Amino acid sequence: MAQKAQHAILRFAKHKAGPAGALEAHHERTKEQYASNPDIDKSRSKDNFHIVQPTQKYRKEIDSRIKAAGCKTRRDSTMFVDTLITASPEFFTGRSKQEVQAYFTEAAAFMEKKVGKDNIFSAVVHMDEKTPHLHLCFTPITEDGRLSAKEILGNRAQLSKWQDEFHAHMKKAFPILKRGESALVTRRKHIPTWLFKQSVDLIKQQRAIEKAVSDIGMMNAGKKRDEILALVGPYFARLEGHLGQVKKYQATIDYLTQENEGLKEKVRDESGIKKQLEAAKLKQENEQLRRFVQSIPPELLRTLREQQRRPNEQQR
């Protein structure tokens, strides 16, 4: 089986000053419980570590830097940027804590070079969630003392250049890494409404099929094999097609869920909250659908896929 590509991942979220407190609570793990993010395993939080330790509250870090630089601000100014740095989950499999630390130390060194060491007020690595990741926060102050996230991050073309440079930097230390897709491109890909509806419909059908199969007997019951194939076959064809369609939007789903996981309180825009919740629900549903495929016995799965191929071959 071909090894899955392992990507270095770099994403940005621009913020006004308002969400600083909520982000701090999440990044610095100042709360005892995180009901909005069940993926946090508090027993592993002791393994989290800082590359840059904040010296005061996030809001004060932001305000003091902007004041010291003499920056002019507007009501809609981006006051700080939360940078998410991670890699494909497969990249971290089997790596020691020292290797993980080396990865994020290299990533932080890249960011220091790009945005200025003095602009970075916090860089903390979370080891207590599914995939290790770094949250690095900085004030977007230019060399000539202006507050301008637009100048530092740039437009779509410049963000693509960011990805190229980040990949080149990380690949020197970790040659296995592949160039990922531009974060700006993936985050702006609209998830169509029909995909959400299709997912809900397939989940409902899955429950009905599981009940029917349970009534017939075990999925690998020899005598009932044809009956089960007739029942599961049409549904399986739709399911495989759906999971293939979801792949086209997987980067957007990952962006909305991973970038803002557990941080719903920081978003004041109701449409933003809705998008996050919808993406999280879609992700959960499709993980459930994939588990259903994995639960099908291998021999039956091969037969179902052969049945799908036959009509396609006849149409050629």
Could you read off the pLDDT of 221-263 as tens digits, one per residue? 555 677 777 878 888 888 888 888 887 777 677 766 654 444 4
Query: Which of 6-15, 120-129, 275-284 shows the lowest per-residue confidence on average (mean pLDDT)?
Result: 275-284
Residue 33 has pLDDT above 60, yes or no: no
pLDDT tens-digit readout, 259-299: 444 444 444 444 556 677 788 888 888 888 888 888 887 87
Q: What pLDDT does residue 185 have?
A: 43
Q: What pLDDT does residue 237 have?
A: 83
Residue 3's pLDDT band (cuts 50, 70, 90): low
Q: What pLDDT does residue 290 have?
A: 85
Q: What pLDDT does residue 214 have?
A: 72
Asked whether 141 and 119 are in contact (CB, 8 A), the reply is yes
Q: What pLDDT does residue 191 have?
A: 80
Separation of alpha carbons 43 and 118, rounded Å: 33
Separation of alpha carbons 298 and 230, rounded Å: 17
Q: What pLDDT does residue 211 have?
A: 78
Q: Residue range 297-302: average pLDDT?
A: 80
Q: What pLDDT does residue 69 have?
A: 92
Query: Per mean pLDDT, which of 110-124, 146-160, 171-185 is the most reliable?
Result: 110-124
Tokens representing residue 169 in the block: 């930097």
Contacts 24+ apart (CB under 8 A), 187-191: 187/11, 187/251, 187/252, 187/255, 187/256, 187/259, 188/252, 189/249, 189/251, 189/252, 190/252, 191/249, 191/252, 191/253, 191/278, 191/279, 191/282
Q: What pLDDT does residue 210 have?
A: 80
Residue 39 has pLDDT above 70, yes or no: no
DSSP state of 191: P
- Is pTM beyond 0.85 here? no
For 281-295, give one letter per residue: b (16+ CB within 10 A) or e.
ebbebbeebeebeee
Residue 184 has pLDDT above 70, yes or no: no
Question: Between 156 and 270, where is the model more confident?
Answer: 156
Q: What pLDDT does residue 266 have?
A: 41
Q: What pLDDT does residue 222 have?
A: 58
Q: What is the CATH number of domain 6-180?
A: 3.30.930.30
How far apart are the two ends of the chain, measured CA to CA in Å? 28
Query: What percent of the chain clears pLDDT 90, i.e. is strictly above it?
Result: 32
